[in-house]
Structure 1
Amino acid sequence: MMYRIVCVLMLLVFCTTGYSQGILKGQVKSRENGELLEEATVRLKSASLHTHTLGDGSFGIPVTRYPDTLVVSHVGYETMETAVTDRTGHLIIFLYQAPVTLSQVNVTDSRRAIRQITQIDLKANPVNSAQDLLRKVPGLFIAQHAGGGKAEQIFLRGFDIDHGTDVRITTDGMPVNMVSHAHGQGYADLHFLIPETIKDIDFGKGSYYVDQGDFATAGYVNLSTFDRPDKNLVKVEAGQFNTFRTVALLKVLDQQKDDQNHQAYVAGEYYGTNGPFESPQHFNRLNLFAKYTGQLDRRSSLGIQFSTFTSKWNASGQIPERAVASGEIPRWGSIDPTEGGNTGRTNLALKYRYRIADHENWTSTFYFSNYDFSLYSNFTFFLHDSVHGDQIHQSEKRKIYGMDHRYSKQLFGDNSDLTLVAGLGLRYDAIRGISLQHTAQRDSLFEYFALGDIDETNINGYAGLEWQRGKWRISPGIRVDHFIFNYNDQLTPGYQTQAADKTAFSPKLNIVHSVNSQLQAYFKSGMGFHSNDTRVVVAQKGVDILPATYGADLGVIFKPWPKFLIQPALWFIQMQQEFVYVGDEAVVEPSGRTRRMGADLGIRFEPVPWMYIDADISYAYARAMDEAKGENYIPLAPDLTSTGGIAFRPLKGLSANWRYRYMKDRPANEDNSVVAQGYFVNDLVVSYSRNRWEIGCQVENLFDVNWREAQFDTQTRLKNEPAPVSEICYTPGTPFFARLKCSIFF
C-alpha cells in the first residue's frame, strides 16, 4: 500500500507541466474597515482555474490571455469584477460588505463551498447557546444527560460517538478531545467557548483529510473565533427556571494600517440556571476569553489567545421508565439527586503565520491547557450496593502541551498546477490522579476501582499533493501518527510503569471534478482511526489498539440557480476490531467489526431576499459484522435524522427563525428488542434590531412535547427491589423554555 502511494505521488510530480503566460498578483481588503480578507475566491472569466486569498489577503493567479476579467467574491461581501490587461500590475481589491446570500457561494471547491454554506447558516440562524455550535454541522445530533455541565453525547453518521470518540473537534486548531479521559475516550467539552466569539465552523465528514488525525473517523469540526469583532457587545438574557445569562465583548485594540494591523478584544460570559428538574441544578458557569492578532509585516502575522472557564452543577441523571410509570418519581424527578460535578479548563494558544514566498507559506500553532474534572454519577442505583447505592466518582487533573506546523508550497514556481501540503505535530498529555471511585452522597468514599497516572504522547506528520488539471483536482496524501503510552497503576503494590507504543498509517485520496460553475462532483476516500485509552493499550500489551477505519464518499454540489443549492452524497465506513475502556466500570470490552453506509441530502433555498430555507436529511444503516443477523444492531446508532428551518426577515430589523430537529426511533440493544424513542422538536427565535440595540425572545421546544434527550438500555435496581430490571433509562428533554434577551452594540 505504501509503495503504491509513493508511486502515485511521484507520478503526479513528474507529469505536471506549466501552462500560464503570467501571474496576476494582488490583495483583497474590506472597504469598510481595511480588514485583510482570507478565503476570498479569485477567478478569471476566461479560465477554469481559481485560487483563494491567504491570511494576509494576498493572491496570485495565472493569466492565459489578455484582456480578461478578474472576479473576486467572498461570503458577506459584494462580488467585484476588474478588467485585466497585459499592463495590469499588483492589484488592491476592495470589497463592500453586503447581506449574506446563497449567490455568494462558489461551487468550484467542495470543501470551501461547504464552509461557505455553514457561514451562511450561521448568519441566517445565529448560535444562541454553546450547544448550538455542534448542531450547525448537518446530520450531527447532541444529547445532554448530566445537568448541563457534562460534555454532550454526540451522534453522527450511524455512530453513537459517546462524548467525542469518533469525531475530532478543535477550536482555532487547538484540540478539544481528551485522550484517556476519566469518563470516556475522546471526551470533548466545548463549554469553554463563548458562542458570540465564533466566526466560522469548518467541518468535514469521513476520514479523508490528511490534516485531521486522531478521532476523525465519522468526521471533524473546527470552530474559529473572530480576529476582530465588528462591534462591542453587552447582552443580558433571562428566562424560565431561574435562568440568567450575560455576555460582554469589548474591543481593546483596533489599529488598521497598510502593514501594521493589530486587533485585540476580550469577552466574558456568565450563565446560571436551575433547569426544570425537581431537584434544582444550581448550574453556574463563568467564561473569560481574550484574543490578539497582528500583522507584523507584509509577510508575517501573530495571534495569541487566552481562555478560561469554570462550572459547577447538580444533576438528576437518567431515570428508569418503571419509576415514572409507577409514580415513584415524577418525570422531572431523580433517584439520586446528589449527582453532578465541577470542571474547569484554561487555554493558552499562539499562532504564527509566515509567507516565505508568493506561493510558499508556513503556519505554526503552539498550545497549552490546564484541565480539572470531577463527576458524580449513578447509572445502576442499587444494583451492586443495596445499602449505599452505586454512585461513582470520576476525576482527573491534566496538562496538555502541543504544537502543530503546516507548510504549503506551489511546486515549480508560479506556473505550476501542483501544490504540496505537509505538516508536523506533537501532543503530550500529562494526566494525574485519574480515578474511578465508589461513593455515596458525594462525601463517602468506599473503594477505588481505578487510580493512576497517565502520560500519552502523539507525534504525527502528513504530506499531500493537490494536482489541478483543467476541471479535475486530484489530492493524494498520507498521514502517520505514532503514540507512546505510559501508565502507572497506583492500586498495584510498588511503582511500575506499564508502557506501549503504536504507529498508524492513514492514506487518503480525493478526486474532484468541476463540471461547470454550477456543478461539482467529488469522490473522497481514506483510512482513519481513533486512539484507545492508555489503560486499554497496556492491558492489551499494545495489540490491536489503533484499529483502522476505511471510508468513502461519492457526492455532488449542484447550484442550478443562484439562490438554490443541493448536496446529495452516498457514503460508507467500515471499522476494524477495537477494544474500549468503559470508564464507568473500569473494564475493557471488545466491540468487534462494524460497517455503516448511508446517504446525506442538504438543501439550501432563498425564494425571496427575506427568506432562507434549509434542510438536511441523513440516513444510516449500521450493523456489527461478526454477529448473527437480527442480533447485529448497534445500540443507539441513529437511523434517520433531519434538521432544518426557515429564517424570515420580512421587515428591516425584524427577524424570526424557526428550527426543527427530528430523530427516528432506533435500537437500544443488539437485537432491537428495546427501542429508544425518537422525537420531533421545534425551536423559535424572534428578534428586532437597530444599529445600537437588539431585543428578542427564544423558545426551546415550542410545542412542549414530551421527548427523551438521552436514552440507554441499562440494568438497574431500585431500593428494596428484589431483582434487577433491564429497561430504558432516560433524561427527559427540555420542556417549553422561553427566555428574553437584550443586546447593546457600541
Structure 2
Amino acid sequence: MRIAARSGAAAACLLSGQAMAGGLQTVPVELAPVEIRASANTARSSASEGTVTAEQLANRPRLRPGELLEVVPGLIVTQHSGDGKANQYFLRGFNLDHGTDFRTTVGGMPVNMPTHGHGQGYTDLGFVIPELVSSIEYRKGSYYAEEGDFSAAGAAHLELMQQLPRPLSTVEIGEDGYRRVLAAGSGAVGAGTLLAAVEASTQDGPWTVPEDTEKYNALLRYGWRNNAGAWSVTGMAYSNRWTATDQIPQRAVDSGQIGRFDSLDDSTGGDSHRYSLSLDWARGKETSETRATAYFVDYDLDLFSNFTYFLDKPADGDQFEQVDQRRYGGLGLVHEHHGEWLGRHMHQRLGLDLRYDDIGEVGLHRTVRRQRLSTVREDGVEQLSAGAWYSNSIEWNKAFRSVLGLRADHYRVDVDSDNAANSGKADDAILSPKLSLIWSPTSQTHVFLNGGYGFHSNDARGATITVVPGSNPVEPADKVDLLVRAKSYEVGLQTRLLPSLQTALTLWQLDLDSELLFIGDAGNTEATRPSRRQGIEFSNYWTPHKGLIVDADLAWSRPRFRDSDPAGDRIPGAVERTASVGVVLNGWKGWFGGARLRYLGSRPLIEDNAVRASSSTLVNLRGGYAFSPRLRVSLDVFNVFDRDVNDIEYYYESRLPGETPVQDPPVGVEDRHFHPAEPRSVRLGLTAYW
C-alpha cells in the first residue's frame, strides 16, 4: 500500500484542494491522492498502519457508506438490522459489534459514543458522503500514543475534501426501491474556498417488510489561510428514518413458517439525526507544527428492536425501545517538533484530547408497535474524559529508529438514574506506555517490533449500578471498572518484493482485562471475562500499471477467554478467518471499475464451540464508462453470484407464539438467529460534471 504521512487534518484538507486539481482527466471525480512525502522520522511505526488515498477509494463497489472501512486490511463490515442502524464490524478476532474497540473519527471528530443506548462505542457512519472522503488513515494495535478510548483493536481516521475540481451531480437508481441523488461543488468565496454538498436516498431492500429508508445528508465547509495559519470550518447534518428487519430464528425458516427475508415484528426500526460543527486549525514553521480541532455534535437515536419475540412478554411481545439523546463536544490539540539530540534526528509530538458528553436521556423501554408500555431504565449521564500524550521518535542511525510513547487518560462520570440506587459518580484513570523499534536493513524493507498498553471504557451506568433494573424482587448488581486495560504486542515485516508490489506480514497478540459482548435479549453490550487474541495478517498492494490497483489480504486469529470456566473458553462471535481480494481500474480509454471478493470465516457462537456461524463469501462488481470529461455512467452489482449467506449470526433463547408453555421465569428455545446478506442487486448511476 502506498503510504503518505499525514501532517494534520486541517493542513491536509486545505492542501487537498491544490493537490487534487490535477485529478484524473477521463473521470474527474476520481481525484488524485493527497501525498505528503515523509522522511524516516515521520514514517509508519508498525506494519499495521497505512493511509488509503482517494485514488484507492475510487471505484470500490460498496453497498453502504460504512463499507468504506473495509479498506482497512482484515476488517469486515456487515449489518444485522435496518440501514439506519450502525454497521457490524469484525477485525482481529473481534466481533466489534457496532464499533467497540475500534476508534473512528471523521474530519477529526470522534464518532464512537460511550454509554450509548444500543452499545458501548456505537459507531454510525451513515452521515458520511463517500465521494467527499479524501483519505483514510488506519492503525491496528495499542502502539500509538495519539489513539485513546476504543482503539485496542485499531483506529481509522476519515479525512474530508476541501474542494472539488468541478461541481458534480449524481443520480442513482436500483432494485428494491433504491434511489439516490447527490449534488456537490466548491469555489472561491472571499479569501477562501467553500465546499457544499447535499445527498438524499431511499430504499426498501429485499425484505418482506420494506425498509422505507429516508436518509438526508448535507455538508458545508469553508477553508482559508491567513497569517495565523490554515483554517477550516465544517458543518454537517444527517437525518434518517427506517423500518428494520432484525435477525430471525433459523427454526422458523427451516419449518417454512417464515422466509429468509421475512420479519417477526414489522414495527421495528427507528430514526436518528446527527448535526455537527467543527473548526480545524494548523500552523507550521520550519521545524514545528501545531494543529487543533474543536467540535460540537447534537445526536439523537430512537431505536425499536425485538430479538426474542414472545419470550418475556407472551401477550404483547418483547419489542423494546432504546433511546440516546446527547450533545457532546471536545478539543484535540497536537504540537510537533523536529530537531537534533546528540547529533541524531528527533521528532517529538505532544497532544491533548478533551471530550464532554451531556447525555440527556439514555433509556430502555418496553414497547408494543413503538408505543411505550413501561420503562426498564432511564438515565441522564454527564461524562468527561481527558487524555494527554507524548511521542518521541529518534533516528539512531540510517537503519534503526525507535518510537517511545506515553498516554494518560482520566474519566469522570455522573449518572442520574430513575432508580436512585443506580445513581452516582465514578472516576478512573489509566496510564498507557508504548514502544516501537524499527529496523530498515534496506530502503525497501522494514522490520517492526511493537508493544503497548491501551484501554476501552465501560458504560458509565455499569460503574454506578447497584441493583438490576426492573428486577422484582430487587436483585443486586455488580459494578464494573470504568476503564479496562488492553495490552498488545506485534512483530511485523513490510517490504517491496517488486517495485510495484508492497507486502506486509504481521504476527500479533492482544490481551483484554474484560471482554465486551453483545447480549441478544437486551440489545446491549456487557462486560465479561478477560481474553487473549493472537493472529497473523498478510497483506499485499500491487500497482502493475498506472490506474490499476490490486490488493489481497488474509487474516487468521485465535480468540480465547483467559480464565477457567466450565462454559468454555471460546468468545462468542469472535472472527477467526477473513480474506479479501480486490481490483480497481481508475481509467483506461474511458473505462473504469472495480471488483471485490470478501470472505468472513466461521466462528463460535457459544463458549464451548458446539455451535458455530457459517462462513460467507461475497463478490461485488462495479463498472462504468466516461463518455466525456463531463459525463459518465456506472453500474454496480452486489452479491454477484446470489449467495444465500448471512451477514450476522447469534445463538440465544427466543420464543415464537405458542411455542412453549408460558412459565415464570420464561422458557424459550435456544437457536441460531441470523440476518441474511442481501441477494443479488443492481444499481445504475449517472454523474454529470459542470
Cα distance in 2 between the residues matched to 1:610 and 1:460: 42
Pair 1:663-2:600 in alignment: yes
In the TM superposition, residue 644 of structure 1 has moved relative to its aligned partner by 1.4
Query: Which letter maps to 1:680?
Result: T
In the TM superposition, residue 651 of structure 1 has moved relative to its aligned partner by 3.5
CA gap of 1:582–1:603, structure 2 versus 1, over 3 A, is same
| Equivalent pair of 2:127/2:217 in contact (CA under 8 Å) | yes
| Equivalent pair of 2:427/2:482 in contact (CA under 8 Å) | no
Pair 1:502-2:428 in alignment: yes
From 353, 365, 369, the equivalent of 1:425 is 353
Q: Within 5 Å, which residues of 2 pair with 1:315-394?
A: 315-355=244-284, 357-394=285-322
CA gap of 1:352–1:648, structure 2 versus 1, over 3 A, is closer
Cα distance in 2 between the residues matched to 1:53 and 1:347: 20
Gaps of 5+ in 1: 1-38, 42-50, 58-73, 79-96
Pair 1:449-2:376 in alignment: yes
Q: Secondary structure at the match of 1:530?
A: strand
Q: Within 5 Å, which residues of 2 pair with 1:140-159?
A: 140-159=75-94
Question: Which residue of structure 2 lines up, in the alignment, with residue 199 of structure 1?
Answer: 134
Q: Within 5 Å, which residues of 2 pair with 1:18-57?
A: none
In the TM superposition, residue 121 of structure 1 has moved relative to its aligned partner by 2.6
Cα distance in 2 between the residues matched to 1:606 and 1:335: 48
Query: Which letter maps to 1:635?
Result: P
RMSD of Structure 2 on Structure 1 (CA): 3.0
CA gap of 1:193–1:40, structure 2 versus 1, over 3 A, is closer
More divergent stretch after superposition (165-174 vs 128-137) = 128-137
Question: Which residue of structure 1 lines up, in the alignment, with residue 44 of structure 2?
Answer: 110
Question: Which residue of structure 1 lines up, in the alignment, with residue 447 of structure 2?
Answer: 521
In the TM superposition, residue 404 of structure 1 has moved relative to its aligned partner by 1.2
| Equivalent pair of 1:289/1:305 in contact (CA under 8 Å) | yes
Question: Which residue of structure 1 lines up, in the alignment, with residue 494 of structure 2?
Answer: 557
Q: Secondary structure at the match of 2:457?
A: coil
Pair 1:711-2:646 in alignment: no
Q: Secondary structure at the match of 2:209?
A: coil
TM-score by length of 1: 0.83
Pair 1:306-2:251 in alignment: no
| Equivalent pair of 2:653/2:669 in contact (CA under 8 Å) | yes
Pair 1:462-2:389 in alignment: yes
Structure showing greater relative contact order (alpha-carbon pairs closer than 8 Å, 6 or more residues apart): 2
Query: Which letter maps to 1:172?
Result: G
Query: Which letter maps to 1:303?
Result: S
CA gap of 1:705–1:573, structure 2 versus 1, over 3 A, is same
Pair 1:740-2:684 in alignment: yes
CA gap of 1:218–1:636, structure 2 versus 1, over 3 A, is same
Q: Within 5 Å, which residues of 2 pair with 1:128-139?
A: 129-139=64-74
In the TM superposition, residue 492 of structure 1 has moved relative to its aligned partner by 3.6
In the TM superposition, residue 603 of structure 1 has moved relative to its aligned partner by 1.1
Q: Secondary structure at the match of 2:137?
A: strand
Q: Secondary structure at the match of 2:462?
A: helix
Q: Secondary structure at the match of 1:417?
A: strand
In the TM superposition, residue 685 of structure 1 has moved relative to its aligned partner by 0.3
Q: Within 5 Å, which residues of 2 pair with 1:467-546?
A: 467-469=394-396, 470-492=398-420, 497-539=423-465, 544-546=481-483
Q: Within 5 Å, which residues of 2 pair with 1:546-585?
A: 546-577=483-514, 585=522
Q: Secondary structure at the match of 2:581?
A: strand
Question: Which residue of structure 2 lines up, in the alignment, with residue 725 of structure 1?
Answer: 669
Query: Which letter maps to 2:65?
Result: A
CA gap of 1:127–1:711, structure 2 versus 1, over 3 A, is closer
Cα distance in 1 between the residues matched to 2:22 and 2:508: 34
From 514, 524, 528, the equivalent of 1:591 is 528
Q: Cα deviations across residues 566-615 of structure 1 (Å, max 9, x unaligned)?
A: 11111110111367796963999541110000011111223344643211
From 215, 226, 230, the equivalent of 1:285 is 215
Q: Cα deviations across residues 679-725 of structure 1 (Å, max 9, x unaligned)?
A: 11000001111311110100100011101011111210000111511
Pair 1:248-2:155 in alignment: no
From 557, 577, 602, the equivalent of 1:640 is 577
In the TM superposition, residue 53 of structure 1 has moved relative to its aligned partner by 10
Cα distance in 2 between the residues matched to 1:630 and 1:543: 21
In the TM superposition, residue 124 of structure 1 has moved relative to its aligned partner by 6.0
| Equivalent pair of 2:260/2:676 in contact (CA under 8 Å) | yes
CA gap of 1:269–1:426, structure 2 versus 1, over 3 A, is same
Q: Secondary structure at the match of 1:606?
A: strand
CA gap of 1:111–1:203, structure 2 versus 1, over 3 A, is farther
In the TM superposition, residue 296 of structure 1 has moved relative to its aligned partner by 1.3
More divergent stretch after superposition (234-243 vs 553-562) = 553-562
Q: Secondary structure at the match of 1:338?
A: coil
Q: Within 5 Å, which residues of 2 pair with 1:30-109?
A: 109=43
CA gap of 1:478–1:650, structure 2 versus 1, over 3 A, is closer
CA gap of 1:731–1:578, structure 2 versus 1, over 3 A, is closer
Percent identical among aligned pairs is 30
| Equivalent pair of 2:276/2:296 in contact (CA under 8 Å) | yes
| Equivalent pair of 2:46/2:492 in contact (CA under 8 Å) | no
Gaps of 5+ in 2: 13-18, 24-28, 467-477, 661-666
Question: Which residue of structure 1 lines up, in the alignment, with residue 165 of structure 2?
Answer: 230
Q: Cα deviations across residues 445-488 of structure 1 (Å, max 9, x unaligned)?
A: 22211111000000110111111222222111110110001101
- In the alignment of these two chains, the number of paired residues is 655
- In our comparison, the structure showing a higher alpha carbon Rg is 1
CA gap of 1:542–1:473, structure 2 versus 1, over 3 A, is farther
More divergent stretch after superposition (642-651 vs 725-734) = 642-651
CA gap of 1:98–1:740, structure 2 versus 1, over 3 A, is closer
CA gap of 1:710–1:252, structure 2 versus 1, over 3 A, is same
Query: Which letter maps to 1:206?
Result: G
More divergent stretch after superposition (556-565 vs 146-155) = 556-565
